Amino acid sequence: MALPVKQQATYWGVAAALFLVLMWSLGQVLLPFVVGGAIAYVLDPLADRLEERGFTRAWATVVIFAFAVLFFLLALVLVLPMLVGQVIALVQAAPDLYESVRDVLVERFPTLIQEDSAARQTIADVLASARSQIGTVISSVLSSAGAAINSVVVLVIAPVVAFYLLLDWDRMIAAIDDLLPRDHAPVIRQLASEIDRTLASFVRGQGTVCLILGVFYAIALMSVGLNFGLIVGLVAGALTFIPYVGALVGGVLAIGLALFQYWGHSAVVDGETVRIATDWLRIGLVAVIFAIGQVTEGNILTPNLVGSSVGLHPVWLLFALAAFGSVFGFVGMLVAVPVAAMIGVLVRYVAAQYREGRLYKGLEGRAKDDET
């Protein structure tokens, strides 16, 4: 005999509350385990395919991690020094960018020259604040990112956790399935399958899209000579998981930097003032790069790698990231997408049950269903 609904809801509510309290209390301790679990989840389909080709699970895991270590070392040797160099150059160039913004605004909008202009004072205050804060913000981000990347805990424990989880993934899923309450096992399996499809489409598919676009933007922007092209490309690619945000943020950054770099200006050469013309071609190429990226993403990458029925609305994603990041910190941001997918599937299931129930249909609708 099944437990009463009220008692079941109490048990599940207590379990959910304990999970949230555990995640909040442990905080950064969970970071390598969350990262390791995410890596194992992403790599599990690849391990399954290798098993289908005759590999044992152990050998499939070893081969996957051997290639992963090789890729990581190549990225560490080839990309990281260039990225660090561009970040340092960006920090050093921040004061010059501030001066350029002020000069361009004054040149293009002469009314700002007036000392008593409210607009000039406002813009000056904003730029001065940005100038004073940008170095601190970038240094803080770099120190935090560097601490996370260089942390022995994350670099050592997360791959080890991922290795063992990937090795035992199928056995763990079978063990969890065996613990499901028998009365609700079919429904839980159905919901878990829908959650897995949503996560697989979003995390694996969108992650691949982000990687492809990030590499494309970085290489293309650097090829046209844009300063800090690697940083802008990687930022645009990383933010692509939120539709339009990656292209918007990356496009604004890239075109803004291109305008400062290639816009006409005066320079002193051999004691003479020389007017350097605006390089419209390079500015246009930067804009074309992001247009090509958007067309490719919308018509080729996303339809083939992600699909059309992910079920995670951009606004819902932004809210989940903001809410979980605010409450649980960086670990919360890592689990925000899976939890958002889970909640989305559960909400759709509850809505479907509600439409089939008496509360929605009323007595007349229920009577019609009984007649049919």
Predicted pLDDT of residue 141:
47
Sign of CA pseudo-dihedral 197, 198, 203, 206: positive
Report residue 213 as tokens.
Answer: 């676009």
Report residues of the chain scoring pLDDT below 70.
1-3, 5, 27-28, 90-154, 243, 264-277, 306-312, 330, 363-372
Report the amino acid identity of residue 80. Answer: L
Q: Which residue is listed with tokens 């170095």? A: 135
Q: What whole-number distance in Å separates Cα of residue 345 and Cα of residue 219?
A: 38
Q: Which residue is listed with tokens 């202009």? A: 117
* Inside any domain, residue 163: yes
Tell me how long the chain is.
Answer: 372
Predicted pLDDT of residue 25:
78
* Inside any domain, residue 49: yes
Predicted pLDDT of residue 66:
92
HEC assignment per residue over 184-202: CHHHHHHHHHHHHHHHHHH
Residue 15's contacts (CB-CB under 8 Å, 6 or more residues apart) are none
Q: Which residue is listed with tokens 């339809």? A: 303
Closest CA to 228 of 88, 91, 86: 86
Predicted pLDDT of residue 62:
93
- Per DSSP, 4 falls in state P
Structural domain tally of the chain?
1
Predicted pLDDT of residue 142:
47
* Inside any domain, residue 122: yes
Residue 221's contacts (CB-CB under 8 Å, 6 or more residues apart) are 229, 230, 232, 233, 254, 286, 289
**Per-residue b or e along 126-141, where b marks 16 or more CB atoms closer than 10 Å to that residue's CB:** ebeeebeebeeeeeee
* Inside any domain, residue 234: no
Please name every residue paired with 246 in a beta bridge, in sequence order, or none if there are none.
Answer: none
* Inside any domain, residue 108: yes
* Inside any domain, residue 29: yes
- Report the Cα–Cα distance between both ends of the chain, in Å, rounded: 30
- Per DSSP, 180 falls in state S
* Inside any domain, residue 86: yes
Helix (H) or strand (E) holding 203: none
Q: Per the confidence metrics, is the pTM higher than 0.85?
A: no
Question: With contact defined as beta carbons under 8 Å apart, do 42 and 203 qualify?
Answer: yes
Report residue 166 as tokens.
Answer: 């990937």
Q: Whole domain around residue 124: which residue ranges?
A: 1-179
On the 0-12 / 13-18 / 19+ scale of CB atoms within 10 A, 359 is exposed
* Inside any domain, residue 115: yes
